[in-house]
Amino acid sequence: MKNLLNAYEATTAAAAYIIGFLMNGKVYEIILDNLPEWLIGLDRESTAHGGARKLRIRMTALAKARLMNAGAAYIGTADEVLASRKNKGEAFEKFVTERAGQEWHKDSVPYFVDGDLTVNGVKYQIKFESASLANENTIAKALAAVR
């Protein structure tokens, strides 16, 4: 897992991460320069998608407490932030993008090509709790692209 995370961070186009999570019906966010190991888990794609290992945000109660202690900020209720779409990750990304004064578009730009949001020249990856970061095949493509 550590090797995949290191490879992911070495190849990401983003300079920072905007991480969101839900706690007691409220949505919080925090900006992180890097992803701490205690926030990341290793999972697998379904066998229908090849069964590759993938990195995923692992939002445990302890992780939420650590993020709160690190300065996570309340940004709205679940209804205010997440109600615009069925997919909570997309809804969070849309909310954050529009709050930054930009128009949100659903896209599938790889993490190593561009961030989800650019503000004042800083590229951010936007992730909501339990989000997938990338699978090992995509990370291998990213590593090959930078070589």
Q: Mind listing the pLDDT tens digit for each residue in 14-27?
A: 999 999 999 999 99
Query: Mean per-residue pLDDT for 34-39?
Result: 95
pLDDT tens-digit series, residues 50-88: 889 999 999 999 999 999 999 999 999 999 999 988 899
146 found inside a domain: no
147 found inside a domain: no
Domain count, the chain: 1
Let me know: does 55 contact 1? Beta carbons within 8 Å: yes
Region class of 101: left (phi > 0), else alpha (psi between -120 and 50), else beta: left
- Give the range of the structural domain holding residue 124, as residue numbers without chain letter: 2-141
| CA distances (Å), origin 14, targets 18, 27, 74, 80, 118 | 10, 23, 23, 27, 9
Give the pLDDT of residue 7.
Answer: 96
63 found inside a domain: yes
